[in-house]
Structure 1
Amino acid sequence: MRLVTWNVLWRFEPEWRARERAILTTLERLAPDVIGLQECWGTADQSQAHLFAERLGGVHAAFLGPSLPPVPQPPEHPDQAGVLMGVGLVSRWPIRSVRRHDLPVSHRQIAPVALEARIEHPEEPFDVIVAATEWEPEFADDHLAQTRRLAELLDAAAAGEPRFLLADLNCDRTQAEFAPIAAAADDTWELGGGDADAVTLSSEVPFAPLEATKEIDRRVDHILVSHGSGVAVESAFTVDAPVGDLFPSDHFPVVVDVRLGS
């Protein structure tokens, strides 16, 4: 099966509606089975995850919020008013349960959530966690606490059963915040022979957040799988090209192809 994780830049500029169409174009081309979304929008009657599920063929979706970053107050434009920042999941197979996990915070007023879901794959059910973590350098203690909590959730996988983390961790393998995750899970990027020099938050994108000095030009988006899961990773890559003349997001999606139960 094919898994994708992608920070899709909410309803931020530039041209969020055009970017959303470009995101869908990319996903249609990739034809993933499971998608984890960060900076995903949600309203009282719709979410970006559910919209994508409908457009990709009536598959299954879930959405939870709030997530990081905080939404602009006041809104930057009318399309942001009353819209939640969250994390989303799209799955080719039924989502049998969804659990909400509040991630630890000591600096912000609202805790971001991690979405944990049980997916009923016809051959082997598995769990998926979708999350986004802190990024501000001055909040590094929260960043580390959040990756430790995600590591605990990965460690809670039943023996031999796959549990995937699809996340914008705002750190790469060399940074301290990644260490708890590395102790709890295998990096599908390395297992799948992904390019060692790849980045997912690139200064080559015209609207990239260059002020994010801790994250820029690093591979900060990840798909990991719990130790001892029996999952074989066949490939791992990013999609770093614009659609037409527009980059769909400031992050590049991470794509991995895996086989269960090997």
Structure 2
Amino acid sequence: MKKIIPILALLSVFVFLNCSKSNSSEEEVTKIDKSTNLLGTGDSAGDILSNTKYDKLILEIGYVQGFKPTTTAIADLIEFLKERTFKENIEIQYQELDSPEKESLTISEIDKIVQENRTAYNSGSTLAIYIYFADAPSDGDEPEADLVTLGAAFRNTSMVIFESTVRELAGKSILISTGTVETATLNHEFGHLFGLVNIGSDMVNPHEGEMEITNDDGTTEIVPSQHCNQDNCLMRAELEFASAMGKMLTAKNGQVPDLDTECLLDLKANGGR
């Protein structure tokens, strides 16, 4: 199994606009504070779920030309967010981007793309999340092992959807649409931003799965997976990979999996619905 490791927060970056003086008057210096959007995955779970600090949500969707998500998936995502959080005021902003011209992308490369293009950041009572729809697959894919990644959450308010991989999976079966795979992937990655599983929203009852990893010295060990161990849950680790996603969606006749009881308890305990 693969494990998505949250990228460490970078130093806050401030963008200053030039100021000029005219007739002894000086324009106010404008700055953008990015620090609250450069934290670790799950660090803003409570803020996303509740309205205590932020009561408006902006979803800035950056997509490579030709890889814009379906309107169905975005509508489904908004419905999912309103079901699981207290955010009712949700705004969508689209941003068409040029292709990075890469055969594959690492999370570090994606994070750089996001930092170069993102315009929406937390401000006042508004919380902003950036979603990047890529035209290239994940650098960590292992097609020979049937491990092809559909999406990844990183930092506290960023995620990537490997849209080219999503479309490839949807094209393999008449029972699965691109919109359905997008919805399932978006919901799963938002689950991580919600702090699931055990990365920002504490578990009410133990339900975190385990996975085996190989160390640099060749030894193996069992570690927490940051995914749910309950059958058919949206937060099963397998749902980040195309083959398992395809099997589950086919078995459910194209229906997107939902969060199980244990995950729902965790969200409610951290300020969600």
**So what's the TM-score if we normalise by structure 1?**
0.28
Q: Determine which structure has the larger strand proportion and give its number.
A: 1
Larger Rg computed on CA atoms? 2
